[in-house]
Amino acid sequence: MHNFLPIAYFQNQFVPFEDAKISIATHALHYGTGAFGGLRCIADPENPNQYLLFRLDLHCKRLSNSARFLNYDLPASKIQEAIVEFVRKNRPGSSSYIRPFVYTSDLGISPRLHKIEKDFFIYGLELGDYLSPEGVSCRISSWYRQEDRSLPLRGKISGAYITSSLAKTEAVEAGYDEAILMNSQGKICEASGMNVFIVRNGQVITPGPDQDILEGITRGSIITIARDMGLEVIERPVDKSELLIADEVFLSGTAAKITPVKQVENYKLSSDRPITDQLREKITAITENRDPQYKDWVYVISCD
């Protein structure tokens, strides 16, 4: 059961969530011609009248770029302005997840992106831990991540998530918590909605942008934080066998934050995760605006 925030942004105005409805003939519903973002909103631990959004500017920029793939000119500044006002109107009482979405809103039946109406909406819901912070078990999916030459993977295109959905259900129905997909070259790519990191011999390793990953905002933040902590970070192709013998494996994403992996297929991983724990503690402090070094990563919304 989802607890949705009471106010949505829909068709350029704020309306009750239950009134934000689209037609069953909506173009994006049939062709996956939409793109979405997602960011967490938490109440400031030091001031209950303030809300904290992690890397709001990057989230808005990425969604604006995703809209460009749909032939839709939607400035990041407009997205940010709408999200800020959305938070002020809802004033969430607990940790929440905000979902902005751009889509072809026309009622036509021709698959196209030209000469077709587009729109933008925002809704939100209360969200605690998306995955268990104690760690998850993962299956290597039989489904492969798409290639950028067939689908723009630099954007969160809604139609692409059929692969994630297939992989996630396959994993869960086989008794695992999460799926890890390989790319068309047989290298580790990402989880159903998260990036993948491994730790080997003190090095933090993650597939690079050339591996058909989504360039995750949390992923990029972790890379910066790890390097600032003096850790060596390497972006390179990762083999399946490396997951099985890694010292540590973790997933990262807006919803997942940093989630350790405790098992891959039938291989148990160590419960001693010093680097994962350090990074998780650090990013938690940053998102709660308790780390002065990264204060510019946190957008503060005042509701006084």
Q: Which residues are catalytic?
A: 156
If one counts every other C-beta atom within 10 angstroms of the C-beta of residue 39, the result is 24
Instruction: Determine the residue type at 229.
Output: M
Amino acid, res. 48: P
Q: How far apart are CA 141 and CA 236, in angstroms?
A: 20
* Separation between Cα atoms, residue 140 and residue 205, nearest integer Å: 18
Give 221-227 contacts, CB < 8 A, sequence gap 24+: 221/54, 221/55, 221/283, 221/286, 221/297, 222/197, 222/252, 222/258, 222/279, 222/283, 225/279, 225/282, 225/283, 225/286, 225/294, 226/275, 226/279
**Which two structure tokens, joined as six digits, stand for 189?**
């790519």
Reading the block at residue 113, the tokens are 């992106």
